[in-house]
């Protein structure tokens, strides 16, 4: 399927603000893919679809999670965690995206997980450092992003987790697994 057609479909699902974020994630993911020799078509496809389900109705997302092989424990956590897994399902059904690396990069873009592939790391990081982001500490992560992909992902996972804890939020187990595994991968 043509990327321009996909872009238009994604645009129709999102707000203007969220679509602009998506395009910046795509540009950032392409830059990171050049640096780390990742597949650029895969990075583009994962990036363009990563927030596809961001504004899906919660009832619909809940239903998709229950009726498919997506992990049901997602339902015990914040609904913000549902849009990646749901998008990874939708793009297979609606767009025939079969490539598991692309689908996993979308599925895990919010939480990360243990043993992330290079593409998963690139999408996770691109979502965090795209130029529109202004989290405290993001500049330090940007400085490391093109030097050490794994370390930059660990820093992003750490910042997000610490932020969520400071707000008394729960932490999905995959987020903790991502933090631990990325930490163990760096020296
Ligand atoms: O969809 P985006 O806004 O581009 O970014 P995202 O998908 O990375 O994050 C969506 C939200 O999910 C963000 O506010 C942080 C939050 N989040 C990430 N990991 C966890 C989490 N929320 C909870 N409760 N638990 C997590 O483990
Ligand atoms: Fe997201
Ligand atoms: Fe399920
Ligand atoms: Fe995003």
Q: What is the CATH number of the domain that holds 38?
A: 1.10.3210.10
> Which amino acids bring their CB within 6 angstroms of ligand 1?
51, 54, 77-78, 80-81, 109-111, 127, 160, 164, 169-172, 175
Whole-prediction pTM: 0.97
Please give the pLDDT value at position 104: 98
**What's the average model confidence in pLDDT over 90-110?**
97
Q: For residue 81, give the DSSP letter.
A: G
50 C-alpha to ligand 2 centroid (Å): 6
Q: Pick the atom of ligand 1 nearest to 81's CA.
A: 12
Please, which residues have CB within 8 angstroms of residue 21's CB and are 6 or more apart in sequence?
Answer: 51, 130, 132
The C-alpha atoms of residue 50 and residue 88 are separated, in whole angstroms, by 8
Please give the pLDDT value at position 63: 98
Ligand 1 pocket test, candidate residues 109, 110, 167, 169, most atoms within 8 A of CB = 110
Residue 33 above 90 pLDDT?
yes
Please give the pLDDT value at position 148: 98
* Counted domains in the chain: 1
48 C-alpha to ligand 3 centroid (Å): 25
Task: Output the residue whose Cα is nearest ligand 1's atom 25.
Answer: 171
- Could you tell me if 84 and 110 are in contact, meaning their C-beta atoms sit under 8 angstroms apart? yes
Residue 144 above 90 pLDDT?
yes
Task: Output the residue whose Cα is nearest ligand 1's atom 23.
Answer: 171
Q: Pick the atom of ligand 1 nearest to 172's CA.
A: 27
Please give the pLDDT value at position 175: 98
Question: What residues flank ion ligand 4 with Cβ within 5 A?
Answer: 51, 127
- Domain of residue 158 covers 3-185
- Could you tell me if 103 and 91 are in contact, meaning their C-beta atoms sit under 8 angstroms apart? yes
**What's the average model confidence in pLDDT over 66-95?**
98
Mean pLDDT score across all residues of the chain: 98
Residue 117 above 90 pLDDT?
yes
Please give the pLDDT value at position 7: 97
Please give the pLDDT value at position 178: 98
Please give the pLDDT value at position 1: 78
67 C-alpha to ligand 3 centroid (Å): 5
Residue 177 above 90 pLDDT?
yes
Please give the pLDDT value at position 187: 83
Q: Pick the atom of ligand 1 nearest to 54's CA.
A: 1
53 C-alpha to ligand 4 centroid (Å): 10
Share of the chain above pLDDT 90, in %: 98
pLDDT-based confidence at 69, cuts 50/70/90? very high
């Amino acid at each position: 399927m043509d990327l321009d057609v996909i872009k238009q479909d994604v645009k129709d699902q999102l707000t203007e603000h969220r679509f602009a974020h998506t395009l910046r994630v795509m540009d950032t993911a392409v830059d990171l893919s050049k640096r780390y020799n990742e597949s650029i078509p895969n990075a583009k496809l994962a990036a363009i679809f990563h927030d596809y389900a961001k504004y899906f109705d919660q009832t619909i997302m809940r239903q998709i999670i229950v009726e498919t092989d997506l992990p049901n424990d997602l339902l015990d956590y914040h609904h913000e965690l549902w849009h990646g897994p749901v998008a990874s399902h939708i793009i297979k059904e609606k767009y025939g995206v079969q490539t598991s690396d692309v689908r996993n990069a979308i599925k895990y873009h919010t939480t990360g997980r243990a043993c992330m592939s290079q593409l998963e790391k690139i999408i996770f990081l691109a979502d965090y450092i795209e130029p529109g982001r202004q989290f405290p500490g993001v500049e330090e992560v940007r400085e490391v992003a093109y030097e050490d992909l794994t370390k930059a992902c660990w820093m992003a996972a750490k910042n997000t987790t610490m932020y969520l804890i400071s707000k008394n939020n729960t932490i999905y187990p995959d987020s903790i697994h991502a933090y631990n595994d990325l930490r163990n991968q760096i020296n």
